Chains A and B, each alone.
Chain A
Amino acid sequence: MSEANKVAKGQREAEEPFYAGQTRILEMIASDAPLPEILTNLVLLMEAQEEGMLCSILVLAVDGIRVRHGAAPSLPEAYVKAVNGAPIGPRNGSCGTAMYLKRPVVVTDVLADPLWADYRHLAEICGLRACWSTPIFSPQGDVLGSFAMYRQEPRGPNAAETHLTQIATHIAGIAIERQRVQETLRERDARINLAAESADLAFWVIYPEQNTAWMSDKGRAIYGFDSKLALNRDLICSRVHPDERAAVHAAFDRACASHGLFESEHRLVLPYGKTRWVIVRGRCLEDEHGNLLELIGVTIDVSAQKQADLQLQLQREEMSHLNRVALMGEMTASVAHELNQPLTAIANNASAARRFLERGNIDPVLLQQLLQDMVADSQRAGEVIRGIRALVQKDKTVVRSVLNLNAVIADTLRLVSSDIVLRESVVITEMDRSLPQVEAVLVQIQQVLLNLIMNALDAVEARPPAERRIIISTRSLNGESAEVSVRDFGTGLPKDRPDKVFDHFFSTKQTGMGMGLTIVRSIVETHGGKIGAENAPDRGARFFFHLPAARGDSKSQAA
Chain B
Amino acid sequence: MVDTSRLEVGDRAICMTSNDKSDAEIVCLVDDDLSVLKSIQRLLASDGLSVRGFNKPKEFLSHVQAHSVPVVILDIWMEEMSGLELQARLSELSPDTRVIVITGRDDPGAKLTALQKGVTAFFTKPFDDDQFLKAVRSALAMHPTE
Contacts and interface: CB of A to CB of B under 8 A. Distances in A.
Query: Do chains A and B interact in one complex?
Result: yes
Nearest to B82: A421
A347 B33 contact: no
A348 B104 contact: no
B35 A340 contact: no
Given A363-B4, A366-B4, A418 B104 contact: yes
Interface in A369-427: 369-370, 373, 376-377, 380, 417-418, 420-422, 424
Interface string A58-98: 00000000000000000000000000000000000000000
Contacts of B38: 345, 373
Contacts of A341: 33, 35-36, 104, 125
Interface in B58-74: none
A336 B126 CA distance: 11
B46 A345 contact: no
Interface string B46-85: 1110000000000000000000000000000111001000
Given A365-B5, A421-B82, A355 B104 contact: no
A347 B126 contact: yes
A342 B7 CA distance: 20
A166 interface: no
A340 B126 contact: yes
Nearest to B5: A363
B46 A347 contact: no
A353 B36 CA distance: 15
Contact of A344 (B5, B36, B48, B79): B36
Nearest to A336: B105
A366 B39 contact: no
Interface residues of B, number: 27
A497 interface: no
A304 to B, nearest CB: 52
Contacts of A422: 77, 105, 107
B137 interface: no
A343 B39 CA distance: 11
A366 B39 CA distance: 12
Nearest to B34: A345
A500 interface: no
A352 B42 contact: yes
Nearest to B80: A421
A289 interface: no
Contacts of A349: 39, 42-43
A363 B135 CA distance: 26
Nearest to B1: A361
Contacts of B78: 421
Given A341-B104, A418-B77, A353 B35 contact: no
Interface of A is mostly: helix
A340 B104 contact: yes
A352 B46 contact: yes
A355 B35 contact: no
A341 B105 CA distance: 10
A354 B48 CA distance: 13
Nearest to B78: A421
B121 interface: no
A163 interface: no
Contacts of B39: 344-349, 352, 373, 377
Interface in B113-146: 125-127, 129
A349 to B, nearest CB: 5
Nearest to B47: A355
Contacts of B35: 341-342, 345, 373, 376-377, 380
B30 to A, nearest CB: 14
Contacts of A325: none
Interface in A321-362: 333, 336-337, 340-349, 351-356, 359, 361
Given A351-B43, A352-B43, A366 B5 contact: yes
Contacts of A333: 105
Contact of A351 (B48, B77, B82, B129): B129
Nearest to A380: B35
A422 B76 CA distance: 9
Contacts of B43: 348-349, 351-352, 355
Contacts of A356: 4, 46
Contacts of A359: 46, 48
Nearest to A338: B104
Most buried by B among A346, A355, A359: A355
B105 A337 contact: yes
A380 B4 CA distance: 25
Contacts of A353: 46
A236 to B, nearest CB: 67
6 contacts: A333-B105, A342-B35, A345-B38, A353-B46, A377-B35, A421-B77
Interface of B: 1, 4-5, 7, 33, 35-36, 38-40, 42-43, 45-48, 77-79, 82, 104-105, 107, 125-127, 129
Sort A-B residue pairs by CB-CB distance and give the 9 closest, nearest first. Answer: A348-B39, A355-B46, A352-B42, A351-B129, A344-B125, A352-B46, A345-B39, A340-B104, A344-B126
Given A348-B40, A373-B35, 12 more contacts: A341-B104, A345-B36, A347-B129, A348-B36, A348-B129, A351-B46, A355-B43, A355-B46, A355-B47, A355-B129, A359-B46, A363-B4
